[in-house]
Amino acid sequence: MNRVAREPQRLDAAEAPAALLSKENKADPTDFAPAQPAPDLTTAPVKALSGLPGAGAVDLDQAAPKPPAPQPVAHSSEIPADGPQPRKTRENEPEETAENTSRYQCPEAKSGTDRRLRTRVGARLLAVTLGTAAVIAYMKNTEPPEAIKTEAQNEDPSAPADPNSADQALEPEGTRPALELTAARPAFTVGKEPIVFERADKPSEPRFILETEFDLVRRAFPPFDPKTADTFVVVRTGTNFALDAYSPSSRVRVSRLEFTADPVEPIWDLHSSATATRFLAASGGKLTVWDLEGNTKLADAVDPFAGKPDHQKDGLAAAFFAPQPDQIVTVSTAGAVHLFDVRRGATVSEFIAPRGARGKVILGASVARAAGGGSIVLVVGGVLYQIKAGAALDRLRVHDLGGEVKPLAVAASGTPGRLLLTLETKGKGKKDRALFYLPLGAESRPVTSLWPPGAGAPKGALWVNDTSAGVITESGVVWFSDDQNKFGPVVVTRPAGGGLYFGAGNLFWFVVPHPSNPARSVLVPQAVPFGDTFEFRGAAEANEPLRVLRIDPNGLAK
């Protein structure tokens, strides 16, 4: 074997390892054979990374700087005249046996053995050091960003917030614990209904006598202008549904459109304006759209999730007209939002909510159209979103609730608007219902309070005139107002029998049974705020139980 002796390189004492400079391990001045080379750590496996994702792909050259190869250390400044004498390599040394290893070794042999041992130990320590550095670099590069704790507010819809900045900071689905409430007691109680009522407010507009019994009425769409526009009502007709139009002048039915929709969780919406009147209904996740003025179909059983198998599996939860009636905002049960163009039959844009899960989004409970139709409000993964119904689906408001919740009802006052949410969550080992209110303004703070059992279970929500909100229960509506940024309860309205409730503009619309004809029902428009709101609000601020008003075909009674 050919051996090449290298010229020695001198190191200062401060640069040499202390162990190599100790008296016991001082080598012979003539021993300048190069040390055994350290193993190539760029290809050797690092056990410290084996438990991390992607450990096999870690580049140790980037994770930590590669140290220089070990150099021989000169322990004397004198070099023999005949130059350095090469030492026998490991290949030329006799094999170590029990016989020769048990005997006394000369200092030269002992020094060579110690050097080899130190080389091996140093190589292993170097491997551990590089592995630790790689782990630290990996953890720094993959550290998740801080979760959102405050809302992303944008008052001007024409200048929307960054659509991606808020979403990227949320943890993946399934990692959040349930939200636990800390409120000690509800913020209000509900009083008893009076035995005798007296008339309070009369209807603001003439009533509609609907040609359908109350139990078959499903939905009312108030007119954009009560003086000139038709009012539309969805009713059940056997196994199908129908959309009835009522004239603003005669108050009688003038047309009927029969259609098919899912009977259990029906999806429909109406766009009514001075330029167009459109109606949509969904059956089996497919949309049909009518132009009511032209009496034509613009889309017939169109799948808005065509070519999107994951969203098709999730299923359609809601569909709403955008301000441009040729576009529809669709929402899957996992919280995926799409803007669908009816004319083109194609998706324009999409927003995939983080932490979405199939079956979590339910129409009315966790997704609703904002008053005025300019946006939608969505609760998914413990986050409350207000999303503009436009080409970019801009996130106008984003508020992290702080944990997983079960939404019961959600509504928005406008675009952007005040947001109202009732929810169910854990609280000290039991389920609690709560009311959550998010005012307008970047400096405003949300209001949260426990929901009193005596108010009834929340099942819907609505807004009237931008500052009056109602939480719909099985027994009526609990009203709240935001008076000069002071949000609080006002009054409760209840019908003698059943009731359906809707809000539009400055009017509270409700449907109640006809008092004398069971084959008919009555649609009543009522102005909000009510006539005695100031009195009701004062009593509530004095911690008195909320007053209960009776609603009937003749208006309000107290």
So what's the pLDDT on residue 427? 60
Q: Which H or E run includes 116? A: helix 107-141
- Order the strands of the 500-504 sheet from edge to edge: 208-210, 521-527, 507-513, 500-504
Structure tokens, 525: 């428009």
> Minimal CA–CA distance to 20: which of 109, 119, 130?
119
Q: Which residues of the chain have pLDDT under 50?
A: 1-110, 142-174
Three-state DSSP class for residue 342: coil
State phi, psi for 319 to the nearest 5 degrees.
-150, 130
What's the burial of 207, exposed, middle or buried (CB within 10 Å: 0-12/13-18/19+)? middle
Contact 371, 503 (CB under 8 A): yes
- Order the strands of the 548-552 sheet from edge to edge: 458-464, 468-473, 477-482, 487-495, 548-552, 555-557
- What's the CA gap between 232 and 243, in Å, rounded? 7
> Which residues fall within 8 angstroms of residue 124, CB to CB, at 6 or more apart?
none
Contact 241, 261 (CB under 8 A): yes
- What's the CA gap between 129 and 318, in Å, rounded? 56
Structure tokens, 553: 């075909």
What is the per-residue pLDDT across 352-380, written as a single tens digit (0 to 9) for each? Answer: 998 889 999 999 999 999 999 999 999 99
Cis peptide before 144 (omega within 30 of 0): no
Give the CB-side neighbour count of residue 491, counting CA atoms within 13 A: 23
Cis peptide before 157 (omega within 30 of 0): no
Contact 281, 241 (CB under 8 A): yes
- What's the CA gap between 547 and 194, in Å, rounded? 9
- What's the CA gap between 68 and 122, in Å, rounded? 13
Contact 437, 418 (CB under 8 A): yes
- What's the CA gap between 232 and 511, in Å, rounded? 13
So what's the pLDDT on residue 178? 76
Concatenated DSSP letters of 510-540:
EEEE-SS-TT-EEEEEEESS-TTHHHHHHHH
So what's the pLDDT on residue 336? 97
**What residues form DSSP beta bridges with 450?**
186, 434
Three-state DSSP class for residue 159: coil
What's the burial of 481, exposed, middle or buried (CB within 10 Å: 0-12/13-18/19+)? buried
State phi, psi for 63 to the nearest 5 degrees.
-70, -35
Structure tokens, 481: 């107002």
Residues in the chain: 558
Contact 11, 74 (CB under 8 A): yes
- pTM above 0.75? no
